[in-house]
Amino acid sequence: MTFHMLWVIALGLSMDAFAVSISKGLVMCAFRWKQALAIACCFELFQGIMPVISYVIGLQFSQMIQNWDHWIAFVLFALIGVNMIRERLSSDDELAPSLISLKHLLTLDVATSIDALAISVSFAFLSVDILLAVFIISLTTFVIAFIGVKSGHFLGKKFKSKAEIFGGLVLLVMAEKILHEHGVF
């Protein structure tokens, strides 16, 4: 696998993290560098860990991963998306300062990194330098996720209280897209 192909794969893998980061930025009342960096670092960490796990496991569990990865990601995205919308609709208050819980962020990290787990099985068979692949995937994801949080915050300031509903809808669309890509409907 060429160096160029690794960058293309990294960019593709980071797109889910980008979309979710936008949804997280949308609900930030005030942009917090620390929180934006934490979100980007968490996505980077999971996108980097999953290829290593996949590389080590190799083919042993690849069929199981491919059979269930889309369902796991669908459920996680759908639950979080519905919860974001429900919380916004049930609250009469203006948006409170939005701190993202670690549990919530870890759930999103797992959901967005399942593709990295599945695609990286091939790295073991293609003699890919796993350290280089992890570096490229992690770096790309960090930059893309940070840009997503910053962009989402910019849009969130313009849309105010509708931003959390929009963020939830983004996650629901991603959940639907996952099932559509896997031929469920």
3-class SS at 182? coil
Q: Which two tokens stand for residue 111?
A: 């959901």
36 vs 145: CA distance, rounded Å: 8
Residue bearing the bigger pLDDT, 58 or 26: 26
The larger pLDDT score, comparing residue 110 to residue 92, is at 110
Q: Report the pLDDT value the prediction gives residue 11, as an integer from 0 to 100.
A: 92
Q: According to the model, what pLDDT value does residue 21 have? A: 93
Long-range CB pairs of 147-151 (<8 Å, 24+ gap) are 147/18, 147/21, 148/17, 148/18, 148/19, 148/20, 148/21, 148/22, 148/24, 148/25, 149/21, 149/22, 149/24, 149/25, 149/28, 149/35, 149/36, 149/39, 149/40, 150/25, 150/31, 150/36, 151/22, 151/25
What lies within 8 Å, CB to CB, of 82 at 6+ separation is 168, 172
Q: With a cut of 90, say whether residue 167 has pLDDT above it.
A: no
For residue 97, the model assigns a pLDDT of 47
Q: What are the backbone angles phi and psi of residue 169, rounded to the nearest 5°?
A: -65, -35
This prediction's pTM = 0.76
Q: DSSP for 56-113?
A: HHGGGGHHHHHHHHHHHHHHHHHHHHHHHHHHHHH--SPPPP-PPPHHHHHHHHHHHH
pLDDT of residue 125: 67
Q: What is the pLDDT of residue 95?
A: 46
According to the model, what pLDDT value does residue 60 have? Answer: 65
pLDDT digits (tens, 9 = 90+) for 95-145: 444 557 788 888 889 888 888 887 777 777 677 899 999 999 999 999 999
pLDDT at 63: 65
Average pLDDT estimate for 49-68 = 75
Q: pLDDT (tens digit, 9 = 90+) per residue, 6-54?
A: 999 899 889 989 988 998 898 888 888 999 999 999 999 999 999 898 8
29-42 pLDDT, tens digit per residue, is 888 899 999 999 99
